[in-house]
Structure 1
Amino acid sequence: MILADKIIELRKKSGWSQEELAEKMNVTRQSVSKWESAQSTPDLGKILQLSGLFGVSTDYLLKDELGEAEYINEAEETPAVRRVSIEEANEFLGVKEFTAKRIAFATFLCIFSPVPLMVMAAGSEVGTFPFSENFAGGFGLITMFLLVAAAVAVFISCGAKTAPFEYLEKQVFETEYGVTGMVKERQKQYRDTYTRCNVLGACICILSVIPLFSGAFLTENDLFMVCMLSVTMILAGIGVVFFITAGIHWASMEKLLQEGDYSRQKKKKSNLTGAISTVYWLIVVAGYLAVSFTAEDWNNSWIIWPVAALIYAAIMVVCNALSGKNQ
């Protein structure tokens, strides 16, 4: 008996249609149809999956001379595979949708955090604000660290909410009937929004430098230049919000479908956009403070921010392009 006939026999014994087997195997119904008509052969990974699914040995599936099914003790010979129910999948998608906006906002806080320090320092230096440079610097630093602390608190809180679902990112799992179809339908509905958010995020980040360059052409006033730089950073932060919100939502569906960077072949810990953003901007803030305090040149060290914003925009565009290369 050839493999195609064995798959048909085992499927019918299990009481499954081709569609149901396809969903359990995370393939299309056409793939199952081709296996059963001997038009194509499952790869080794799918053979192992079929073996565990039907509870038969791989020898039985691969050797035509074996006509009698060799059933195995699944508890002993195959590793336990976690199954995801449709309720659990819906809960996971709901949690990711809830945390995506908060992670995006926390990242925005990290980007925005140096703005009060820059504005206060520039305003006190030119005499616009009625307080000393030391007071302005101290107040600005305190504000910056408070904003970063708030952002870190949000990241930790969101991490705690998603911790129960970490296995979706790290482990191979099976989905119960209806899960794959539900997620694919949601993905189909969200695709246009995902594309639109990436386009908006990229455009806003690229165009965010216009206020800075416009300020340079209009005046040499230091306070005005710092204000334009602040606008540039705020716009870059808004662009990043679009990237992160859409990216987290899309990645959550990829995890359930085990596609892209979360496929069975590439199952590994992914680099979360929020974590990348946090580390990047904390390094930039540390660099800004180190350069400014060491050189005592606050008038010129602001150039670090537009350069960092442009580099960050490029990083985000590349990361989103790479994450969507398998779409």
Structure 2
Amino acid sequence: MTVIDSYLDTLFAPYPDTPRMREARSELRALMEDQQQALMDAGRTESQAVGAVIAEFGSLEEVAAELGIGAELSGGSGGAQPAADPVLDREQAERYVEAMRRGRWVPAVAIPMFVLAALPLLFLIAVSGESPTGWALGVGLTTLLVLVAGGVLLLVLHGSRMEEHAEVTEGRFTLTPAVRELASSLRREHRRERALALGAAILLWILAAVPVILAGVLSAPDSTAPLYGVCGTLAMVALGLFVVLRSGWSETAAGALLQEADEDDLAATSSSPAIRAIAALYWPVAAAIFLGWSFLTGDWGITWVVWPVAGVLYGGLWSLSAAIGSSDDAQRSPARRA
């Protein structure tokens, strides 16, 4: 008897031994063995592959709809059951993955556009010297608004195209072994690509301070040359975002198919409505403070401190959210025990 057989025996033991349950067990066994073979073909040992298959498999209730064993799991009662989320079959999941693949360039372009929006204005101010001309300010501000508007428009259009897959993006579906296997294989196939992209992006972000440092050291005290360094920094940050966002589509798609919540997204996962509202506005407000302070004072060599301070405060906000969630769980526990 194989490990998978022993696992399935334990899994099906609490339920009646009906012909439909035996058939469902055979179907599930075939799916798990196929997934095990795929992992072994990818270089895993037999024991590693079996362990991964069993670890990735959820409860029997999650696949009851697809296997047609809902009545058996509920004890065969004929009473009305709560409406379940629709089953997501592999074909639907593959269409969602393809839509994500085709649209991967949209966030990779739109979000860096927000970072680059201020670059033309800063560059024109630097070219104009200590007293920027009206045309430089006018063209720079116009370009800034056009880039921001273009980024927003791209994201809105991408969101409208993905509305046909709303049940996936919102997690309103019943996960099946076939979809679980698709998501796992998607992660495996693109793991190296994501790792290389993330490494390149981190390198760019670490080195992004170099243009500002060099421009500040090599320029005269009253010169506008440091603005060229700021432009270089913004360009490197935007390039890093492009690289990592363009390769991150597979992880986003796999997470959605596996119904995994983004634990770092306080705006979506916090149990506190107040924290969700603050988190949704936090980084846009931080960006507005940074740009406003920088443009009004011109102290670009100092205003960067907004970002580490904002990062520390966001960590505090995350800790507060975790503490509130733990408190809520502790309050619910006595109620469950009662």
**TM superposition score normalised by structure 2:** 0.66
1:4 and 2:22 correspond: no
How many residue pairs get matched?
Answer: 274
Query: Residue 84 of structure 2 aligns to which amino acid in structure 1?
Result: A
Residue 335 of structure 2 corresponds to none
Residue 143 of structure 2 corresponds to 143
Deviations 1:188-209 (A, max 9, x none): 1111111222222122111111
1:300 and 2:299 correspond: yes
Residue 213 of structure 2 corresponds to 213
- Cα shift at 1:173: 2.1
Instruction: Give the Cα–Cα distance (whole angstroms) in 1 for the partners of residues 309 and 145 of structure 2.
Output: 23
Deviations 1:41-63 (A, max 9, x none): xxxx9365477651236664xxx
Distance 1:237 1:303, change over 3 A: farther
1:165 and 2:165 correspond: yes
Residue 27 of structure 2 corresponds to 17
Distance 1:102 1:47, change over 3 A: closer
Query: Residue 106 of structure 1 aligns to which amino acid in structure 2?
Result: A
Instruction: Give the Cα–Cα distance (whole angstroms) in 2 for the partners of residues 19 and 125 of structure 1.
Output: 73
Q: How does 1:28-67 map to 2 (within 5 A)?
A: 46=59, 48-49=61-62, 54-56=69-71, 60=75
Q: Name structure 2 gaps, 5 residues minimum.
A: 1-9, 34-47, 271-277, 315-338
Secondary structure in structure 1 of the residue aligned to 2:299: helix
Q: How does 1:129-208 map to 2 (within 5 A)?
A: 133-175=133-175, 178-208=178-208
1:116 and 2:120 correspond: yes
On the 8 A contact 1:122/1:226 being kept in 2, the answer is yes
- Cα shift at 1:185: 1.7
Query: Residue 241 of structure 2 aligns to which amino acid in structure 1?
Result: V
Query: Residue 134 of structure 1 aligns to which amino acid in structure 2?
Result: G
- Cα shift at 1:183: 2.8
Distance 1:172 1:285, change over 3 A: closer
Deviations 1:277-299 (A, max 9, x none): x9677545533554366xx53x3
Instruction: Give the Cα–Cα distance (whole angstroms) in 1 for the partners of residues 151 and 195 of structure 2.
Output: 27
Secondary structure in structure 2 of the residue aligned to 1:135: helix
On the 8 A contact 1:11/1:17 being kept in 2, the answer is no
Deviations 1:45-94 (A, max 9, x none): 9365477651236664xxxxxxxxx2435xx3132321222222121111
Secondary structure in structure 1 of the residue aligned to 2:71: coil
On the 8 A contact 1:57/1:72 being kept in 2, the answer is no
Instruction: Give the Cα–Cα distance (whole angstroms) in 2 for the partners of residues 225 and 310 of structure 1.
Output: 21
Deviations 1:279-323 (A, max 9, x none): 677545533554366xx53x325743x44677799999xxxxxxx
Residue 222 of structure 1 corresponds to 223
- Cα shift at 1:238: 1.1
Query: Residue 219 of structure 1 aligns to which amino acid in structure 2?
Result: S
Distance 1:261 1:228, change over 3 A: closer
- Cα shift at 1:6: 2.7
On the 8 A contact 2:200/2:240 being kept in 1, the answer is yes
Residue 102 of structure 2 corresponds to 98
Instruction: Give the Cα–Cα distance (whole angstroms) in 1 for the partners of residues 95 and 143 of structure 2.
Output: 36
Q: How does 1:66-77 map to 2 (within 5 A)?
A: 70-72=76-78, 76-77=80-81
**TM superposition score normalised by structure 1:** 0.68
Residue 286 of structure 1 corresponds to 288
**More divergent stretch after superposition (239-248 vs 182-191):** 239-248
Question: Percent identity at matched positions?
Answer: 18
On the 8 A contact 1:233/1:309 being kept in 2, the answer is no
Distance 1:250 1:311, change over 3 A: farther
On the 8 A contact 1:110/1:151 being kept in 2, the answer is yes
Query: Residue 140 of structure 1 aligns to which amino acid in structure 2?
Result: G
On the 8 A contact 2:31/2:178 being kept in 1, the answer is no
